[in-house]
Structure 1
Amino acid sequence: MARVVQYRSFGGPEVLEVAEVETPRASTGHVVVEVRAAGVNPVDTKLRRGLRSTGPLTEARGVGSDAAGVVVEVGDGVTDWSVGDEVVVRGASAAYATHVVAAAAQLTDKPESLDWPQAAALGVPVGTAYQVLRSLDVGPETKLLIHGGSGGVGQAAVQFATAWGATVIATASPSNHDRLRELGAIPVAYGPGLAERVREVAPQGIDLVFDAAGTDEALEASFELVDDRNNIATIVVGGRAADLGIRAWAGGSPVPLTDEELRLRVEALAVAAQLLAAGEFEIEVSQQFSLDEAAEAHLLSETGHVRGKIVIVP
């Protein structure tokens, strides 16, 4: 039997339960992965609350899309993966589990330099950060402001952007400033006077803004610092993006990702793996929880003050 975290009704973390189910089998084009760790993403909590359109909840629904583990069964038609392969899973369903079914295309080789929790933390943060930065055309001359720089997406964005030669200013609480400096960013504390503090460290101005925080303060400061709102992008308040005149990818945006944007999210893991192998990229795991502690993991995620990534270890 396998164990899986699921919910039968929308609501707070208390609706999460751990159930025993038949161990899944690999259908054509798919594999079964024995999960060693699963990543917790903010979207997981929004789906659980019913804040994202996913259709009616007519049966128990699993949680999570990112994982890392070992292939234990290969379905017909799968030629690139074998039993025993260590892999990163992205975009699957019900990843908070002991076993998860994934399409062959949803797998990437696990980087040797990462442990299981770090590998499980790659998927959504790395894919999102890379796609947004490429879509914004961040490069060597870019002066980039990242709101929420110490979170999983923020840290990935800082590292990609600095690797490409951009000057990065990132907001975070003072307790996380040393971490941002280690990653190559200029840290700035959020709070009243944010725009002025950014101007002090970036007197040359800001070219682009990547909002991974979604607060009114972050948006208002961005509007003060950047004249063209097309140069401001959010992954949090996508539902408001059109009214605000800014760009959005996911985060509740009614506009689906294009084929090119989806391709970039897939490409991200290979790029991150290369940087990891060269010692130019890091994955920070903040806390680990068991399957039975999934509700606690969601409570922490919903505080919005998580440095790095939360993971679940079955």
Structure 2
Amino acid sequence: MRAAVFDRFGPPDVLHVVHIPDPQPGPGEVRVRVLAAGVQPFDVGVRQGNMPWAKVEFPQTIGQEYAGVVDALGEGVRDLAVGDPVLGSTMLNGNAELLCVAAANVVRKPHNLDFPTAAALVAASQTASGALLELGVGEGDVLLVHAAAGSVGTVATQLARLAGATVIGSASFDNHSRVRRQGALPVPYGEELIAAVRDTGLQPTAALDGAGAEAIAQSVALGISPDRIGTIVDDKAAAEHGVRVVRAGRDPERLARVIALAAEGKVLMPVQAFPLSEVVEAHRAVESRHSHGKVVLIIEP
């Protein structure tokens, strides 16, 4: 099978596509023929060597999010069949034609949700939904989402709106129309943010940070209680200001609930697609932090 690998830490150019042996499913596992695979900042960090807790053995495969079709069953698997469309999380092997995962962690893909969108939603859905649960966001809240145009911010905005919250979302001016389509009031990030939030006439009651650094200090300055400010990106600033670090774990049931909403058209995720052969360009897009939608690799048979 073909897979994206890297033989040393470094810039996107260390990635290349090679042929490696097909994996075989063990007991309780299924093998998935991957049709779309997400690329996320975690992948960039691993490839750069900035994730020392991630076990890397060169040549190292990469990728955490997949959507595809079951093509082989391991011993003892009864609830899935060959040909079932599925999606889910994996660990450092998702950017490949085939992968093996525990059947218990697989989520069925609704027929009316395409494979690229399904793959694009995997990590963002679990992170955003878990963060909102931890922050207790619900009816009557005013949620400030820093980096509202990012993948996590995109899902968090829509889930918060569905829960009855009003959302203010920071983004670059070019993304304000997109933030508005997601149901949020757009504001600029950076030094103009505090004044722009106050100009809305709304008092934020909670904040979810996907930008880091000054965004956390700004949330505190806006009068949001520190126990209702959560960051997914900046542990250091969180400790400095006494706010939460939200590390929502992987949860197939939580993922399945968001996927069901996406199938109903209630949660949308724009996708920027690259073929597997352009994995270097896909990583460059994620690393730039200016990609237009969630970056996904399309893996043709």
TM-score bracket relative to the smaller structure: over 0.9
Q: After TM superposition, give the deviation of residue 291 of structure 1 in Å.
A: 1.8
Report Cα offsets for 1:166-207 as digits up to 9, x if no partner: 010001112212222222111112232210101111x24111
- 1:9-53 deviation digits (Å, cap 9, x = unpaired): 111112112110111111111111011000011111011111112
1:147–1:154 Cα contact (<8 Å) kept? yes
Report the alpha carbon displacement of residue 55 of structure 1 after superposing the two structures with TM: 5.7
Structure 1 match to 2:120? 121
In structure 1, the residue matched to 2:238 is 241
> 1:192 matched to which residue of 2?
191
Instruction: Tell me the residue number matched to 2:284.
Output: 299
Residue aligning to 2:265? 279
Find the residue that maps to 2:249 and give its secondary structure: helix
3-state DSSP of counterpart to 1:122: helix
Match of 2:249 in 1: 262
Aligned AA (1:99): L
Gaps of at least 5 residues in structure 1 are: 251-260
Q: Tell me, what secondary structure is at the counterpart of 2:149?
A: coil
Residue aligned with 1:102, SS: strand
1:230 corresponds to: 227
Which letter does structure 1 place at the counterpart of 2:118?
A: A
Give 2:255's aligned amino acid: L
Please identify, of 2-11 and 53-62, the stretch whose mean Cα deviation from structure 2 is larger: 53-62
CA distance in 2, matches of 1:58, 1:281: 37
In structure 2, list runs of 5 or more residues that go unmatched: none
Out of 241-250 and 203-212, give the one that drifted further.
241-250
Q: TM-score, normalised by structure 2?
A: 0.94
1:87 & 1:12 partners in 2: Cα distance?
A: 31
Structure 2 letter corresponding to 1:200: D
Q: Secondary structure at the match of 2:3?
A: strand
Work out the CA distance in 1 between the residues paired with 2:117 and 2:87: 10
Deviation of 1:292 (Å): 2.0
1:37-88: CA deviation from partner (whole Å, max 9, x where unpaired)? 0001111101111111236644321111101001000000111111000001
* Cα deviation 1:146-171 (Å, max 9, x = unaligned): 00101111110001000000010001
Partner residue, 1:106:
105
Which position in structure 2 is the counterpart of 1:255? none
Asked if structure 2 preserves the Cα contact closer than 8 Å seen for 1:155 and 1:308, the reply is no
What is aligned with 1:39?
Answer: 38
C-alpha RMSD of matched pairs (Å): 1.7
Change (3 A) 1:226 1:111: farther
Structure 2 equivalent of residue 208 of structure 1: 206
Overall identity of the aligned pairs, in %: 39
Q: 2:64 corresponds to which residue?
A: 65
Matches within 5 A, 1:156-175: 156-175=155-174
SS in structure 1 opposite 2:170? strand
**Which residue is equivalent to 1:258?**
none
Provide the C-alpha distance between the structure 1 equivalents of 2:189 and 2:88, rounded to a whole number of angstroms.
Answer: 34
CA distance in 2, matches of 1:226, 1:96: 43
| 8 Å contact kept, 2:34–2:69 | yes
SS of residue paired to 1:149: coil
- The 3-state SS of whatever aligns with 1:135 is helix
C-alpha distance in 2 between matches for 1:307 and 1:138: 27
- Report the alpha carbon displacement of residue 299 of structure 1 after superposing the two structures with TM: 1.0
- The alpha carbon displacement at 1:241 in A equals 2.5
Aligned residue for 2:19, secondary structure, equals: strand
Whether the 8 Å contact between 1:129 and 1:154 is mirrored in structure 2 is yes
Q: Residue 293 of structure 1 aligns to which amino acid in structure 2?
A: E
Q: What residue number does 1:145 align with?
A: 144
Report the counterpart of residue 295 of structure 2 in structure 1: 310
Q: CA deviation at 1:239?
A: 4.5
Task: Say whether residues 1:288 and 2:273 are aligned partners.
Answer: yes
SS at match of 1:121: helix
In structure 2, do the counterparts of structure 1 residues 57 and 232 end up closer, same or farther at CA, with 3 Å as the change threshold? same
AA aligned to 2:264 is: A
